[in-house]
Amino acid sequence: MRLSTIGVTASFSLLLTALPVVSSAEIFIYQEKDGTTWFTDHKALSDDFQFIRTYGRPTATKSCTGVTREILNNRAKPHMNWVEHYAQLYELDHRLVKSVIEVESCFDAYAVSRVGARGLMQLMPATAKELGVSEPFNARQNIRGGTSYLRKMMNRFDGDVKLALAAYNAGPGAVEKYKGIPPYKETQSYVKRILKKFRAYSPDSKISYLSN
């Protein structure tokens, strides 16, 4: 029987940043009698372990399966104040940030991708740490971190939204290497999907990149 586990005794908030990336991306939390906490991708340990909770969803893609516009809007409502707040703080259009979250996680605050990206704006553990996000499943922290990172990418690529979005998805190094959107099918589709949603939210926008 295969197990990907880590046993720890540190505080819970700190543990979340140290979770291993496991292949199923759904993390089960158990605790031994001595207080040692175990994070594993296996659904059941022995009777000596007390089940605490599941942390994360199978994948961000699955977070969108069967999600209607009504469900999406209901998911978004509790988070829109923070979306608007941090979009204003980092001088971004809140409709762009909303579009990024829709494509990244369909507003599932506990989404986990197949490569370990977490939360609403799908922050990788190293990126989250760099941005000061200690709890990636905390919606406010995640939105702040993701929005600030998108602003960094906007600055790095001179306000070019397409390149900033490509960098958000594939990393700024890949964008610089290819001097444009990398020739990755996933990244090219990612940029198009976000801009399509943004156009739908901004039909009267005069911003030049929306016309391409």
Phi/psi of residue 95, nearest 5 degrees: -70, -30
> Quick one: tokens of 103?
């494509």
pLDDT at 84 over 60: yes
Q: Which of 32, 84, 104, 176 is catalytic?
A: 104
Give the pLDDT band of residue 209 (cuts 50, 70, 90): very low
| Rounded percentage of the chain residues whose pLDDT exceeds 70 | 68
Between 111 and 140, where is the model more confident? 140
27: exposed, middle or buried (Cβ count in 10 Å: 0-12, 13-18, 19+): buried
pLDDT band at residue 157, thresholds of 50, 70 and 90?
Answer: very high
Q: On the CB side of 27, how many CA atoms lie within 13 Å of its CA?
A: 26
Answer yes or no: 176 catalytic: no
Q: What is the pTM of this model?
A: 0.70
Task: Using pLDDT thresholds of 50, 70 and 90, give the confidence band for residue 176.
Answer: very high
Residue 22 confidence (pLDDT): 38
The CA-based angle 116-118-119, given to 5 degrees, is 165
